[in-house]
Amino acid sequence: MSETGRNPIDFPMALLAELTHRCPLQCPYCSNPVELEQAGRELDTGTWLRVIEEAAELGALQIHFSGGEPTVRKDLEEMVARARDVGLYSNLITAGVLLDEDRVGRLVDSGLDHVQLSFQDSEATGAERIGGYPDAQKKKLRFAGWVRAAGLPLTLNLVVHRQNLDHLPQLIELAVELGAQRAEIAHVQYYGWAFRNRAALMPTREQLERATATVEEARERLKGRLVLDYVVPDYYARRPKSCMGGWGRRFLNVSPAGKVLPCHAAETITGLRFDSVTERSLADIWQHSEAFEIYRGTDWMPEPCRSCERREIDWGGCRCQAFAITGEAGATDPACALSPFHDQLVALAEADSGADCRDFVYRRFANVVRRNTPMPAK
Which residues are known binding-site members? 23, 27, 30
Contact present, 88 and 55 (Cβ < 8 Å)? yes
Nearest to 112 by CA among 127, 124, 94, 95: 94
Q: Across-strand partners of 45?
A: none
Spatial separation of the C-alpha atoms in residues 154 and 22, rounded to whole Å: 23
- Given a contact cutoff of 8 angstroms between Cβ atoms, the answer to whether 81 and 111 are in contact is yes
In Å, how far are 220, 243, 357 from 362, measured between CA atoms? 36, 26, 14
What is the C-alpha to C-alpha distance for residues 100 and 160, in angstroms, rounded to an integer?
Answer: 27
CA dihedral 37, 41, 47, 48 (to 10 degrees): 30
DSSP 175: H
Binding residues for [4Fe-4S] cluster: 23, 27, 30
Phi, psi for residue 344 in degrees, rounded to 5: -65, -40
CA distance 111 to 88: 10
CA distances from 165 to 31, 126, 162, 210, 347 (A): 19, 11, 5, 9, 21
CA–CA distance, 293 with 69 (Å, rounded to integer): 30
- Cα dihedral angle (351, 28, 374, 350), rounded to 10 degrees? -10
Which SS3 state, helix, strand or coil, does residue 162 take?
coil
Q: Name which of 282, 248, 250, 243 is nearest 11 in CA terms.
A: 250
The sign of the CA dihedral 312, 318, 319, 322 is negative
